[in-house]
Chains A and B, each alone.
Chain A
Amino acid sequence: MPESFRLIGKRLPRIDSEAKARGRAVFAADLRFPRMLHAKVLRSPYAHARIKRIDTSAARRLPGVKAVITGADTAGVKWGVFRYTRDQQLLPTDKVRYLGEEVAAVAAETPEIAQEAISLIKVDYEPLPAVLDIWSAMAPDAPLLHEDHPGNVNVHVAIEVGDLEQGFRDSYLVREDTFTAPEDSYFMTEPYAAVARPGMDGSLEVWMPNAAPHQKAKALANALQMPLHKVIVRKCYIGGAFGGRSDVFPAEFMVCLLALRTDRPVRLVYTREENSLATRKGHGMYVTIKTGVDRQGHVLARDITCYLDGGAYSSTGPIATSVPFLCHEQCYRLPAVRFNGYRIYTNKPIGGMYRVHGRAFASGIDLQLDLLAQELGLDPLEMRLRNARRPGETTPTGSYVQSCGLRECIRAAADKAGWKDKYGKLPPWRGIGLGTNSVQTGFPLGIRGGSAATIKFNEDGGATLISGVVDNGQGNDNMLVQIAAEVLGLEPGDIQLVSADTEATSNDPGAYSMQSTFTGGQAVKLAAEDARRQLFEVAAEELEAHLDDLVAAERKIFVAGAPDHGLPIHKVIRLALLKGKAVVGRGSFAPKVDHRREWMKNPQGQLSETFSFGATIAEVEVDPQTGRVRVLNLVLSQDCGRVLNPLVVEGQWEGGATMGGTGGMITEEHLWSADGRCLNPTFLDYRVPLAVDVPPMQCVFVDTVDPTGPFGAKEAGMSVAMSAAQAIAAAVADAIGWPVFEYPLTPDRVLKAIREKQEHERKASA
């Protein structure tokens, strides 16, 4: 008999949506406090320069200015995600390494006075030669961004598994292709903002959009040299993240420093341009893929060399360099594979984790498979099915795959899209393409990898749930409450959520790497089960029933099958209170991963406890005169384990496919001037998709249940974002009958490919 749930699997509206619909949801820039000061930041006008002297005297004299800070006012602590990547002073003392880097900050009575003060700060720079792309950065005589990194190589991840030479020798066909794409950006609708307020007890409260309150607090405590319990990252609503809020930024460090200096609350709100330049952006990428296959299309060997344009500092460098490869090795069977990933320092804004993790990489892998299939006379669909990961297998770097519905996703998406009737049969300039990918649910994070939750009850039967999980907009708050309500037999409205507040909540790894449901959701489920067991113990005595016979539903505890033989939960709580017992449930969970695994030194061992898999099918139309690509339809499918809330999951898929595919593959890219200035940091020039650009999308659920996920759930959304990019690249190649190796698929690039094809046909017929 299939398990039946009251709330799990239902299309429940999110608990946070009413506050957002009524304009009551408070984002960081909405916070106001008595005597609050306003901060502004002075940024480098050079891509690379030595800071010789900073004169802040005129700024300090301006009436209304309360504090001015520069690198000289800091403890000089360098930030880095890993001990070995600590390369960024949150306010630099020696050099600036990109145009837009923070140099000084002011707190004043009004934003206008703060801005005026910024213009009065005099900085004596010695401009240095800058490197603005990976090739000039790696040139033998290139200026170095960081003296201890020769060749400006920030990260080198080297992986080799299996006998590569033998694999290529045994191959029937071998292809080598190079795929490239410049930087893309998050453009979350909320510009970054940070607020700090000194407490009367020596504490400091901080608000900012974030993907990991506990990690932010730790980094700030280090940089400010304060005890961790005194740096309190509070919850606020967050206007999107997509990987771009995972790291620690100078913004929160500067407001904290200014707040401590002035002993007053300080707020800093970034402009859209600052959000683009001074938080994170996607990596530019140049990737060469060589793949050998047998006559049936099975991949025997693959050799990948990938260069990432990392920008000025490490950020999450080792992770960002590895993840594109890891997603792909999870998705496809690979008897022998070699990966050399290089993240290169350049004098540009800092590259971070971006939802699609490199369009050039993901699309390159799949498009090359299509090209090999074409040469073998195979349908691309069949090619993917033959190489697709199956459950129970182990990835090349040693991760056991405990659940995998990839082949089911491919087949279901193909059925829905009418692949058989369309592939090879569409009218001219129309194309259909398939993308497949896989995503982790978290990765080894040592002592910070686990999540803990607590549930306490009130005498009226309502509960308070306390969890460190943060909601960036994806619906985590609702996910936590939905899980707890299901287990406890309550309605979502009976549960008050306290989350993402480092003073109140226990550790949580953060809402990145798609782990919140698997890790944080599991901790909540365990806490709810612990509380329910306590309720059952009290009820069993009163009802003279056996513990194992009790169930919790409809706000009651009763004997299974006999709803009348039971007690309302509020009565159970009151009985417990009379006995001097407080019902408090606790749960903690850390995924089973191999803690010896390390991104660079030891990329081997269990990466995530489980993985999700996704397939997207795109249909496109290309205008051969203008080179313009129109996406006509997208079919989205993902093995995300049990779907906890279809309404939320569909939203994740539709949004992911739009960002990764319809926007990411068609219009989105950053452009740079010769002196390192980003030419399109705003919505005016960086074209994100609008409602009129987006095609119909159909979501196809594949019924899989992960053996260890909460109610069988895994990650939802990211593998669709990635596979949408791949599907569109494949569909455009199908439409024009020629591959495009440079992304995004802007008219100039598409027309170039059409001309290449025509040239090729002329030569062939000559």
Chain B
Amino acid sequence: MPEQERMVFRAEINGDEVEILVRPNQTLLEVLRDELDLTGTKEGCGEGVCGACTVLVDGRPRRACLTLALEADGSRVLTVEGLAPGRELSPEQRAFIEHGAIQCGFCTPGMLIAAHDLLRRGTHPDEAAVRRQIAGHVCRCTGYAKIVEAIAAAARDQEADHA
């Protein structure tokens, strides 16, 4: 198998300007995990079903396992590592911890990105909207109850802050 020619991939990842050479067939997930050591984003199925690899590309949730890195060339990418600076916690991270929404933690990065996307839109989600937002994310530990609680609580806190 001849080594494919590498191409330049430039992106703003979690606020950092990144410029590296990637193979044209490398997925965004592979580049994040294997080239940039951002292993917070997980591969649970590799076919876009489980949601564990969800990241934001230019503000939109994307399955990193189904996205070629070069498709995200020139984009802003947000992964779980970029939700809060340094050792700080974002509102959704804090809510997940306080509400017991994290068990094994493997689905957590994707769930948090989905939660962040919902909160960022500031649409005052009801419980059904929260459930719809995470309906593309498999969690096998929690039965989703505490994840839904956590996201709903974070949304309420956000509204209270803005009130």
Task: List the interface of chain A (C-beta within 8 A of B).
Answer: 11, 13-14, 16-27, 29-30, 32, 112-113, 116, 186-191, 237-240, 242, 269, 271-272, 472-475, 647-648, 650-651, 654-659, 662, 682-684, 688-692, 694, 697
Give the Cβ gap from B95 to chain A, nearest Cβ, in Å: 9
Interchain nearest-CB distance for B99 vs A (Å): 8
> Judging by beta carbons under 8 Å apart, are B100 and A682 in contact?
no
Q: How many contacting A-B pairs (Cβ < 8 A)? A: 184
Min CB–CB distance A687 → chain B (angstroms): 10
Min CB gap A246→B, angstroms? 15
Contact of A692 among B44, B87, B106, B135 (CB under 8 A): B135
- In the bound complex, residues from chain B placing their C-beta under 8 Å from that of A190 are 42, 44, 104, 106
Bound-complex Cα distance A272 to B40 (A): 18
User: B139 near A: Cβ within 8 Å?
Assistant: yes
| CB–CB A239/B80 < 8 A | no
Partner of B47, one of A272, A475, A648: A272
- Across the A-B interface, give the 10 residue pairs with the lowest CB-CB distance, nearest first: A23-B40, A473-B104, A20-B105, A658-B143, A239-B106, A23-B80, A654-B143, A30-B39, A647-B100, A683-B49
A189 touches B41 (CB 8 A): no
Q: Which residue of A lies closest to B41 (CB)?
A: A23
Complex contact B46–A691 (CB within 8 A)? no
| New A-B contacts (9) at CB < 8 Å, excluding given A237-B105, A688-B138 | A25-B105, A473-B141, A648-B100, A651-B141, A654-B144, A683-B45, A683-B138, A684-B49, A691-B139
**Interface range, B side:** 35 or more
Asked if B18 is at the interface (CB within 8 A of a chain A CB), the reply is: no
Residues of B within 8 A of A22 (CB): 40, 80-81, 83-84, 87, 89, 93
The answer to the question of B70 belonging to the interface, with a C-beta cut-off of 8 Å to chain A, is no
Known contacts: A651-B103, A683-B45. The answer to whether A21 contacts B143 by CB under 8 A is no
CB-defined contacts of A18 to chain B, threshold 8 Å: 89, 93, 97
Cβ contacts under 8 Å, A647 to chain B: 99-100, 146
Which listed residue, A32, A112, A269, A472, touches B104 by the CB 8 Å rule?
A: A472
Interface residues of B (CB under 8 A from A): 1, 33, 37-47, 49-50, 52, 79-81, 83-84, 87, 89, 93, 96-100, 102-109, 112, 130-132, 134-148
State A112–B37 Cα separation when bound (angstroms).
19
Min distance, Cβ A705 to any Cβ of chain B, angstroms: 23
Which B residues are in CB contact (< 8 Å) with A189? 42, 44, 50, 52, 104, 106-107, 138-141
Closest to B96 in A: A21
If A21-B96, A30-B39, A473-B103 touch, does A688 touch B140 (CB 8 Å cutoff)? yes
**Cross-chain contact of B96 among A17, A237, A474, A658 (Cβ < 8 A):** A17
Cα–Cα distance between A11 and B97 once the two chains are bound (Å): 11
How distant is the Cα of A271 from the Cα of B80 in the complex, in angstroms?
22
A–B pairs, 30, beta carbons within 8 Å: A13-B97, A16-B102, A17-B100, A18-B89, A20-B102, A21-B80, A21-B93, A22-B84, A27-B106, A30-B33, A116-B1, A189-B42, A189-B138, A190-B106, A242-B140, A650-B100, A650-B146, A651-B142, A651-B145, A654-B143, A654-B144, A655-B143, A659-B140, A683-B45, A689-B143, A690-B135, A691-B137, A692-B132, A694-B143, A694-B144
Contacting pair A21 B108 (CB below 8 A): yes
Residue of B nearest to A13 (CB): B97
A14 to B100, Cβ gap below 8 A? yes
Across-interface contacts of B83 in A (CB, < 8 A): 22
> What residues of chain A lie closer than 8 Å to B96, measured between beta carbons?
17, 21
CB < 8 Å: which of A17, A24, A654, A682 contacts B102? A17
**Which B residues are in CB contact (< 8 Å) with A116?**
1
Q: Could you tell me the distance between the alpha carbons of A682 and B65 in the complex, rounded to whole angstroms? A: 15
CB <8 Å contact, B42 and A27 = yes
Contact B47 A682 (CB under 8 A): yes
B145 touches A272 (CB 8 A): no
A697 surroundings in chain B (CB, below 8 A)? 143, 145
Chain A residues within 8 Å of B89, by CB? 18, 21-22
Asked if A690 and B138 make an inter-chain contact with CB atoms under 8 angstroms apart, the answer reads yes
A14 contacts across to B, CB distance below 8 A: 97, 100, 102
Known: A23-B40, A272-B45, A272-B47. A188 touches B104 (CB 8 A): yes
